[in-house]
Amino acid sequence: MAAKIDLSGVGMTSQRTRNRLTDRLRDQGISNEGILDVMASTPRHLFVDEALAHRAYEDTALPIGYSQTLSQPYIVARMTQAILSLGRPKNVLEIGTGSGYQTVILAQLIDEVSTVERISGLLEKAISRFRLLGLSQIRYKYDDGQLGWPEKQPFDAIMVTASPRVVPQELVAQLSPGGCMMVPVGTPGNQELTLIQREENGFRTEVLEKVRFVPLLGGKR
């Protein structure tokens, strides 16, 4: 008989440990209680290798293989809060599925989530987590994320979880009127978390803070 997967966690993956994380996020300025509730209930330890599970609720990025990382919880919350602050989008496109953690957070807050990943090994693991958590509303695609998902555009929001050197215009073009894109822009060591909103006569850009992300790469592997 297959071992039952524990979604609740014990010890360093327990609910008490998760609550300490969300308390820290509040102290750092995350005020959206919906986001905090979702992050407190989501088993982040399922998104890393078992050897790192005891560190899952630290406010730090963690490796997930393929030279990629699971983003720091504060950054996940910050990016999500920035998008929701402009109104709840009906649909969102995520560029860079990675472990699937950010995808799962979004899927509990937004009705329709589409996500694109260029590394097949990461996407396969993420899909298994979506199924385990019963999140059938997530749409996923194995492709070059720099291309977005033209067949499903326009999107009310786009979240990019890797850093292009400049704002990717092909993604901006897939925003709906009034839509927004959250993207870390810049070179390694000099990246800025940037919120771009499509307005009637152009685009409004706001830099939120300095960040550190893996680079946004093209192609598939």
Domain map (residue ranges) of the chain: 64-211
Q: What are 84-121's pLDDT values in tens digits?
A: 999 899 999 999 999 999 999 999 999 999 999 999 99
Torsion 71-77-78-79 (CA) sign: positive
* Residue 71 annotated in active site: yes
Cα–Cα distances in angstroms (integers) from residue 120 to residues 86, 98, 123, 145, 160, in the given order: 33, 10, 5, 12, 18
Helix, strand or coil, per DSSP, at residue 141 = strand
CATH level 3 topology of 64-211:
Rossmann fold (3.40.50)
pTM: 0.92
Tell me how many degrees the CA angle 40-42-47 measures, rounded to the nearest 5.
130
* Whether 7 contacts 89, CB under 8 Å: no
Helix, strand or coil, per DSSP, at residue 79 = helix
Provide the residue count of the chain.
221
Q: What are 146-183's pLDDT values in tens digits?
A: 999 999 999 999 999 999 999 999 999 999 999 999 99
Cα 93 from chain centroid?
10
Q: Check 31, 41, 67, 71 and give the catalytic one.
A: 71
